[in-house]
Chain A
Amino acid sequence: MKYMMFVIADPAAAAEAEPNANDWTIDQWLADVEGRGKRVTGDQLRPTSDATTVRVSRGEVVVSDGPFTESKEWICGFDILECDDLDEAIAIAARHPQANGGKLELRPFWTDES
């Protein structure tokens, strides 16, 4: 099953997070998921100060500076995972460095059957 994993930065949570000696670095995480063939692709994203939001309203293209949401939390990266089931995806997300002090959202892709 394919999952989009949004990597989310949460400044409030990051301020309170305590580093854990067992936490993986991003390189360790990548080595693990790529070594096991669980990661299709992914990348880091530039911050929301570099974002542009686009919509069309009454035929007019409306462009604005910044992300689509006012939230303090922001998407700082993504990975596309290929896993047997949600538990496997959860285990992978839990080992991502951003799990401690940030969050990860796992969203399944549409499949042909659904």
Chain B
Amino acid sequence: MASLIRLTGDWDLAEDCVQDAVEKALQRWPLEGVPRSPGGWLTTVARNRALDVLRRRQNERAKLQQLALLQDEEQPSVSDDRLRLIFTCCHPAIALENRVALTLKTVAGLSTAEIARGLLVSESTLSQRLLRTKAKIANAGIPYRVPPPELLAERTGGVLAVLYLIFNEGYGQLDDYLATEAERLARVLVELMPDEDEALSLLALITLQLARRATRFDAGGDLVPIEEQDRRRWDATLIEAGRRYLRRAAASGRPPGPYRLQAQIAACHATAPDAAATPWPAIVTLYDALLAAHASPVVALNRAVAVGFRDGFAAGLAELDRLAAPALAGYYLLPAARADFLRRLGRSDEARSAYAEAARLVPPGSAEQRLLERRRAELSG
């Protein structure tokens, strides 16, 4: 797919030709047997079809010559094309939600239906968005390439952000297939960019969080907070793998980027034998580092929570109250965190109000809302 996009510069044509080749394969291989190099067969058939189509297009004569020449040349590596594809799908000129959709469609190869289901939109809405996005790429002149050295750092950050967003979309749902898809994509990125320690760190972060997937939801589909999760059901193999990726990332010798710091925080949780053993001082220190280099209101909030567990819940509450409220307006985790500390301090009335406030900020009927309502109800009577 990626090499056809490179050769033809036409995403729709590339998609059609690949589909066409696959259909031909499904018809011919049962009768004729599977060829020795199925990938090569598909590529050749798809490319020949592309040639046919382009031949019919008057104003594509120049591209035709290029294709014919390249047929006899050494094929550039498939991994170069996949990397080009990933960076193009994640270009900053594309709206974030569309970077997610296009990456899932063309890099991960999910169907429109699977993507729509995971992103909680209708299939027709998603199809429209994909069409619009491909049009934007062509019309606005978004180049199909791995960014040059002076842009690579910032664009790589953009790719990592898209992959982590895909992970979070999936992780928040009972059917978390997008989360496992994100893990697969993160792994591909690590293979394609072996020197990029932040890609390794993202893989570590995702792996460490996936280790907890069996315990995130209870049998009723309700959220289980981390301190209530049965740690014996955390996947020890994944935790070990995550820690390995993290060690490799740290071995780069480069100062830690945001994903390494977040992965280190995840490792702190993952390696604590029980909630009480969580190394909160280390976690606060990591959040301090994260805040210093990559400040965001959400990071500040998470740090305040960690301070509460390190220094006591009254201190945590004070820390939360110091946060710049406007930046977090509408974000349910602020009142939810306050509610939690108020609850632990025995200030039940205030806790109930804060839980109610938080519940108003989440989608009705969502797992988050059920948890907040449960906590509020526990405080009554």
| A residues with CB within 8 A of B | 1, 3, 83-87, 89-90, 106, 108, 112-114
Sample (13) of A-B pairs whose CB atoms are under 8 Å apart: A84-B143, A85-B141, A85-B142, A85-B143, A86-B91, A86-B93, A86-B141, A87-B142, A87-B151, A108-B140, A108-B141, A113-B59, A114-B138
Total interface residues on B, CB under 8 Å, equals 11
Do B141 and A1 have beta carbons less than 8 Å apart? Answer: yes
Closest CB pairs A-B (n = 8): A85-B143, A1-B141, A86-B141, A85-B141, A86-B142, A108-B140, A86-B140, A108-B139
Per the bound structure, the CA–CA distance linking A90 and B151 in Å amounts to 11
Do B141 and A83 have beta carbons less than 8 Å apart? Answer: yes
Residues of B within 8 A of A86 (CB): 91, 93, 140-143
Q: Is B147 located at the chain interface by the 8 A CB criterion?
A: yes
Query: Could you tell me the distance in whole angstroms from the C-beta of A95 to the nearest C-beta in chain B?
Result: 13
Find B141's partner among A89, A112, A113 (CB 8 Å cutoff).
Answer: A89
Residues of A within 8 A of B143 (CB): 84-87
Residues of B within 8 A of A106 (CB): 140
Per the bound structure, the CA–CA distance linking A84 and B143 in Å amounts to 9
Classify the secondary structure of B's interface with A. Answer: loop
Find A114's partner among B91, B139, B142, B147 (CB 8 Å cutoff).
Answer: B139
Per the bound structure, the CA–CA distance linking A108 and B139 in Å amounts to 7
Question: Which residues 267-322 of B sit at the A interface, judged by CB distance below 8 A?
Answer: none
Per the bound structure, the CA–CA distance linking A85 and B91 in Å amounts to 13
Per the bound structure, the CA–CA distance linking A51 and B250 in Å amounts to 59
Give the residue name and chain of the B residue nearest to A87 (CB).
B143
Residues of B within 8 A of A85 (CB): 141-143
Per the bound structure, the CA–CA distance linking A97 and B140 in Å amounts to 23
Per the bound structure, the CA–CA distance linking A89 and B142 in Å amounts to 10
Beyond contacts A85-B141, A90-B93, A108-B140: 7 other A-B pairs, Cβ-Cβ < 8 A, are: A1-B141, A84-B143, A86-B93, A87-B143, A89-B141, A108-B139, A114-B139
Residues of B within 8 A of A113 (CB): 59
Per the bound structure, the CA–CA distance linking A86 and B141 in Å amounts to 5
Query: Could you tell me the distance in whole angstroms from the C-beta of A108 to the nearest C-beta in chain B?
Result: 5
Question: Which residues 135-174 of B sit at the A interface, judged by CB distance below 8 A?
Answer: 138-143, 147, 151
Query: Could you tell me the distance in whole angstroms from the C-beta of A28 to the nearest C-beta in chain B?
Result: 19
Residues of A within 8 A of B151 (CB): 87
Query: Could you tell me the distance in whole angstroms from the C-beta of A36 to the nearest C-beta in chain B?
Result: 16
